[in-house]
């Protein structure tokens, strides 16, 4: 009896040690996320004149506070996951600066019943943030190794409302269209017409446009209910080129 009690005690202490270490790690990431959110809110205020958004809405803020960005960066860069800067993710690609992810999501004006398309899955982080804000996310990535790793990261983080595929995002995802919103996370030198065609009336396309290795413009294009689209320019950005 005494031996069994000692075994139970050792097991209990081991569980406390494991869960305690997890709690410490979670607390560390929570503090880092809080610091990052303060930086993002400051960036939002500084760019408000150009973007029209001086602060994050509740849904986007909650998504940024919830999604574990450390799951979407290479393991050796996990300690830098909550720095407000882009990070390399392999294959010559990067995970976007958190402020840019936040701004692009806010510019999309996501709602809980929306269905959205992301062109350029990359690490999967932007898709995960969107998944916290909308009903369904479709995401396309042309670089197969990135697409597979992103799918693994999304599954590990529990995002079941994201459907991914390997393919040419310039063409969109016509069989799932029309979309309430589309986000493009790489820069073409012009706006792909197929993407505008796949917007619902009133839907929004948030896209960086401009030449590679130069400053690009982050555009918000809204599909009018009369069939015409309006374009608004926001801030200067720099993205990797959209690959065909």
Residues 79-126: tens digit of each pLDDT: 999 999 999 999 999 999 999 999 999 999 999 999 999 999 999 999
The stretch 62-81 carries a mean pLDDT of: 95
Residues 53-62: tens digit of each pLDDT: 999 999 999 9
Q: What pLDDT shows up at residue 30?
A: 85
Least confident of 84-93, 219-228, 229-238: 219-228
Q: What pLDDT shows up at residue 60?
A: 98
Report the alpha-carbon distance of residue 229 to residue 223 in Å, rounded. 4
Cα–Cα nearest to 147, from 119, 115, 172: 119
- pLDDT at residue 2 is higher than 80: no
Cα–Cα nearest to 181, from 194, 168, 200: 200
- pLDDT at residue 162 is higher than 50: yes
Q: Domain ranges in the chain? A: 2-237
- Residue 241 DSSP code: B
**Local structure of 180: helix, strand or coil:** strand
Q: Say yes or no: domain 2-237 is CATH 3.40.50.150.
A: yes
Q: What pLDDT shows up at residue 8?
A: 53
Q: Which of 96, 123, 139, 153 is catalytic?
A: 96
User: Does residue 96 carry a catalytic annotation?
Assistant: yes
> Which tokens is 202 given?
């009133």
Please, what is the Cα angle at 244 between 242 and 183, to 5 degrees? 40
- pLDDT at residue 134 is higher than 90: yes
- pLDDT-based confidence at residue 182 (cuts at 50, 70, 90): very high
Decide: 58 and 41 in contact? Cβ < 8 Å: no
- pLDDT at residue 129 is higher than 90: yes
- pLDDT at residue 13 is higher than 80: no
Report the alpha-carbon distance of residue 46 to residue 90 in Å, rounded. 31
Decide: 45 and 58 in contact? Cβ < 8 Å: no
Mean pLDDT of the chain: 90
Residues 147-158: tens digit of each pLDDT: 999 999 999 999
- Pairing mode, strands 216-223 and 229-237: antiparallel
Tell me the residue ranges of DSSP E strands in the chain. Answer: 87-90, 93-95, 115-119, 136-141, 162-166, 179-184, 199-209, 216-223, 229-237
């Amino acid at each position: 009896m005494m031996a069994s009690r000692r075994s139970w005690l050792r097991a209990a202490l081991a569980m406390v040690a494991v869960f305690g270490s997890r709690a410490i790690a979670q607390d560390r990431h929570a503090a880092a996320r809080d610091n990052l959110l303060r930086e993002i809110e400051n960036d939002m205020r500084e760019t408000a004149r150009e973007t029209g958004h001086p602060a994050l809405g509740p849904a986007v803020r909650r998504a940024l506070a919830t999604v574990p960005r450390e799951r979407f960066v290479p393991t050796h860069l996990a300690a830098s996951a909550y720095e407000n800067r882009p990070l390399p993710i392999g294959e010559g690609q990067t995970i976007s600066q958190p402020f840019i992810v936040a701004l692009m999501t806010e510019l999309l004006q996501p709602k809980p019943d929306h269905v959205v398309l992301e062109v350029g899955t990359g690490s999967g982080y932007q898709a995960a943030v969107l998944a916290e804000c909308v009903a369904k996310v479709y995401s396309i990535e042309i670089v197969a190794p990135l697409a597979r790793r992103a799918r693994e990261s999304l599954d590990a983080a529990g995002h079941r409302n994201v459907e991914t595929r390997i393919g040419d995002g310039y063409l969109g995802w016509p069989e799932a269209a029309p979309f309430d919103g589309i986000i493009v996370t790489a820069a073409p030198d012009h706006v792909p017409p197929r993407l505008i065609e796949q917007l619902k009336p009133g839907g929004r396309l948030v896209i960086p446009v401009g030449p590679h290795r130069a400053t690009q413009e982050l555009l918000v294009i809204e599909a009018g209910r009369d069939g015409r689209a309006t374009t608004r320019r926001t801030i200067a950005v720099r993205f990797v080129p959209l690959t065909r």
